[in-house]
Structure 1
Amino acid sequence: MARDTIDLIPISGRDELVSYLEAGCKPPSAFRIGTEHEKFAFTLARHEPVPYQGARSIRALLDGMRLLLGWEPIFDGDNIIGMADVTHGGAISLEPGGQFELSGAPLETVHETFTELYAHLAQLREVAAPLGIGFLGLGMSPKWTLAETPVMPKGRYQIMANYMPKVGSRGLDMMFRTCTVQVNLDFASEADMVKKLRVSLALQPIATAIFANSPFTEGKPNGFLSARSEIWRDTDNDRAGMLPFAFAGGMGFERYVDYALDVPMYFVKRGDAYIDVAGASFRDLMAGRLAQMPGEVATRSDWVNHLSTIFPEVRLKKFLEMRGADAGPWRRLPAFAALWVGVLYDDVALDAAWELVKGWTAEQRQRLRDEVPRLGFKAEIAGRSAHDIARDMLALARGGLARRDRLDNCGCDESKHLEAIAPFVEAGRTPAEDLLEAYHGRWNGSVEPVFDEYVY
């Protein structure tokens, strides 16, 4: 989850909220790739979750990484909860259940994101190995109950944990027991943003199928290929979903601002304190009418923080966040960035992707999104299988990356990073199905081997 912003300049009005998003526009030469990935920490000896405090703990990991990297620590009260690379823009942060997240720096190529990830994991192993801690890349915790899962000491998470059960049945599972991989990409103009948003929303369920990797809950198959994606269907539908309004006429920055203003707030941050305003209206805060904070008006940081608590399948900030994929083995993570860079950062591929999805209705898109967590590549839309569309999407990405022609030291373009997912797309078989086959076969009905075979 993003580092909270502190900018106490009051907001002058709605136009300023629109201008904030518009400021993300940049020429294609300045486009960058920002990756994020989460992973579960566990004890190597007993495959147990890692608490925040203690000799073998999340805090010990953070302290060790701080000494190793020299990054600026981020505190919540007296507790270190992350660190920021103020030179290059990356950060390490914690999700509510101790999921360890790298938010990468904005980089020019997928090759660079691969190098960044490899370096991060090498550094993390250097600190974690003496502590007897390993890391697991799955979309959902395969073993631990909610009660067994630790709670990180961050004020915003306590507010969210109190609010979530009021608006959905799966919010606590989302917070404490899921992991994702994301890629954040730029846009050149409002029209470019709208086109990329529409294409990526329509195709996000296809990416979910390609990366589906969460078939276990509390040691047993849960009936889904992406339980993480299924959990989002009943987490908080006021702030999640497929954004059908994005496909309507008149879509732009203003329309997204109006949507965001209608999403209830979680918190307001003043100094180091998180003030619980869960369910309140940002419009009331802008007008100084918030009952919990009489006379207080919205600041720029309030808007940035509010945008970070909206969770649609694709999220708009000053860039677009692809939010559809389960975490997975580390070699598969750069493929998520490669897939979306190939489709969205090449005009030929983007145009072809729009032709692929533009005839789909809101109802068809929603049905696809609802079916993919359970059916994976067997889900259908407009008479075609998700498997067929995934093959089209992979081909578009390959072509887009080839035309980008960003070569590594070996002379390979960025399409090499798609090879980690190509076998799944070609076979029409999700990674989760491999996990289930192992569970019912050589793992003899146990999830314990996943901690050995999938450890980073």
Structure 2
Amino acid sequence: MSSPTNVVESPITQRQTLVDFLAAGGRAKADWRIGTEHEKFGFRLDDLRPPTFEGERGIEALLKGLTRFGWAPVEEHGRVIALLRDGASVSLEPAGQFELSGAQLETIHQTCGEVDTHLREVRTVADELGLGFLGMGFQPKWRRDEMPWMPKGRYRIMRDYMPKVGSLGLDMMTRTCTVQVNLDVANEADMVKKFRVSLALQPIATALFADSPFTEGKPNGYLSYRSHIWTDTDPDRTGMLDFVFEDGFGYERYVDYLLDVPMYFSYRNGEYVDLSGQSFRRFMDGKLDALPGVLPTLRDWSDHMTTAFPEVRLKQYLEMRGADGGPWNRLCALPAFWVGLLYDDTALDAAWDLVKDFSMAERHALRDGVPKHALKLPFRGATVRELALEALKISAHGLQRRAMTNHNGADESIFLTPLIEFAEANETPAERKLARFHGEWNGDIDHVFREYAY
């Protein structure tokens, strides 16, 4: 989840301003970049509990420790709640899940180097504090009421609102981790094609990255429980966005969708004003009781866009949101998968050919079935595995045509290796952990912290 945005404080008086704001994200292909974000669970090495915000071994101490590497602190009410450096940021999810929002980079090689540097820096400070970090989609051991809360104003508002609209929203906030990639578009037509392809194929990414099979120390019956959680978080702001596939879809239609997503807050004068459940349309008319006569600004709009949580999210770029968090190599694989599909014209055409005749019912069947069955979900006489293998082949060819090589001459398709291996073996990371849980771990979930920590 994002920290307060930094855009011009221009009052919004017309809907067209919102449409123009989205459209302004279009870039020439030569300027397309890759922004990768990933979250991870912190735990204390001695008792495996998540660290609190305060204290000698707390999350704030970790943030302050990272400033030795040139990160600039961001404060809220005198507490360090984020870090900034060279176009990247480190921020906190509601229960202290530690997030790197990477800089806009040109290649997956650079992305992987950025992730590696970040994990090394975090490990350096975390070792001093007796902390470790784990990449998975869902907290495998601790109950919701055992998770700490970070002192961020927006999370207090969301915490109060979530139980009103779904039964799993607080689990989403406190016990999930993801990896996502943010990718550019050239113009409206390019955005529409990429949006449709990525939305239709998002369940494939969910299947390949499925790694959240445990809840409170026991199997939960899912392979991506994180993905399942989104089905009962808040129907007003989640889901597959069927309107994206309708004729005439474009920036205006997405603006109308966002205008109907209930608000959470407005960030003003360093404070979060609770606007939960209220209409952005009424905000534009200056008719909010909490802010009488006040008109929203582009900052309010930018913040509001971050409070919609569909499987693919449009801001001034597209965000791929379907994957569970994981280890280092999968943090590189996720951007590689989507860059290969969306940043090469031939690959994008092939990916569209793969999904263009999916019915709405089929898209929903994939979305709803993958959290439990992943690659083994039946689809059109075969399984999701066959779809995944075809998507991976298209992505690999796209990356090869991009021909972005490292110092050894290897192109970006090398980062797809773990995903190809999962698909060929027809076995997700979640299934591999389950096998160990029922086998050599003898039902003791504590092993996952020792054996899979960064």
Residue 3 of structure 1: aligned partner = 3
* In 2, Cα distance between equivalents of 1:341 and 1:233: 27
2:317 paired residue number: 319
1:436 maps to what in 2? Answer: 434
**Within 5 A, what are the aligned runs for 1:164-175?**
164-175=162-173
Deviation at 1:356, TM superposition (A): 0.5
Q: Which residue of 1 aligns with 2:135?
A: 137
2:180 is aligned to 182
User: Which residue number corresponds to residue 29 of structure 2?
Assistant: 28
Question: What amino acid is the match of 1:125?
Answer: R
Work out the percentage of aligned pairs sharing the same amino acid.
Answer: 56
Task: Work out whether residues 364 and 382 of structure 1, in 8 Å CA contact, stay in contact via their aligned partners in 2.
Answer: no
CA offsets 1:111-136 (integer angstroms, 9 cap, x no match): 00000000001111111101000000
* 2:412 corresponds to 1:414: yes
**What is residue 49 of structure 2 aligned with on the other side?**
48
User: What amino acid is the match of 1:71?
Assistant: W
1:357-407 Cα distance to aligned partner (Å, 9 max, x none):
000111110111000000111213344411000000110011000000000
State the partner residue of 2:112: 114
Q: CA deviation at 1:427?
A: 1.2
Q: Are 1:82 and 2:82 counterparts?
A: yes
- How big is each residue's C-alpha offset from its partner over 1:82-116, in whole Å with a ceiling of 9 and x where there is no partner? 0112xx21000000010000000000000000000
Question: What is the one-letter code of the residue matched to 1:334?
Answer: C
1:71 corresponds to: 71
Q: Deviations over 1:42-94 (max 9, x none)?
A: 0111111100000111010001012x123222112121110112xx2100000
Kindly indicate whether the alpha-carbon contact (under 8 Å) linking 2:43 and 2:132 is maintained by their aligned counterparts in 1: yes
Distance 1:239 1:218 in 2: 27
2:101 to 95, 100, 103: 103
Q: Cα deviation per residue 1:254-278 (whole Å; 9 max; x = unaligned)?
A: 0000000000000011111101110
> For the residues of structure 2 that align with 1:283 and 1:291, how far apart are their CA atoms?
13
Indicate if the aligned counterparts of 1:360 and 1:382 stay in contact, CA closer than 8 A: no
TM-score between both structures, scaled by the size of structure 1: 0.98
Calculate the aligned-residue CA RMSD, in Å: 0.8
Give structure 1 stretches of 5+ with no counterpart: none
1:3, CA displacement in angstroms?
Answer: 2.2
Structure 1 letter corresponding to 2:39: E
SS in 2 for 1:233: helix
Which residue identity lines up with residue 117 of structure 1 in the other structure? V
Q: Which residue type is aligned with residue 436 of structure 2?
A: A
Asked if residue 377 in structure 1 is aligned to residue 375 in structure 2, the reply is: yes
2:289 paired residue among 291, 313, 318: 291
Q: Is the 8 A contact 1:214 1:228 kept in 2?
A: yes
The 5 A counterparts of 1:159-308 are 159-308=157-306
* AA at the equivalent of 2:82: G
Q: C-alpha distance in 1, partners of 2:412/2:208?
A: 18
SS at match of 1:445: coil
Aligned partners of 1:381 and 1:16: how far apart in 2? 42
Contact 2:13 2:295 survives alignment (8 Å)? no
| Equivalent residue pairs, number | 453
Q: 2:286 is aligned with what amino acid?
A: G
Q: Deviations over 1:300-343 (max 9, x none)?
A: 10000000111000000010000000001112210001000000
3-state SS, counterpart of residue 232 of structure 2: coil
Give the residue type in structure 2 aligned to 1:81: I
Task: Supply the AA of the counterpart residue of 2:298.
Answer: R
Other structure's SS at 2:144 match: coil
Distance 1:262 1:206 in 2: 28
Q: State the distance in 1 between where 2:54 and 2:370 align.
A: 38
Per the normalisation by structure 2, the TM-score is 0.99
> Which stretch of structure 1 is more off in the superposition, 329-338 or 6-15?
6-15
8 Å CA contact 1:365–1:381 kept in 2: the answer is no
> Equivalents in 1 of 2:291, 2:99: separation in Å?
32
In 2, the alpha carbon distance for the partners of 1:27 and 1:3 equals 28
Determine if contact 1:41/1:50 at 8 Å carries over to the other structure. yes
Query: 1:34 touches 1:183 (CA, 8 Å); kept in 2?
Result: yes
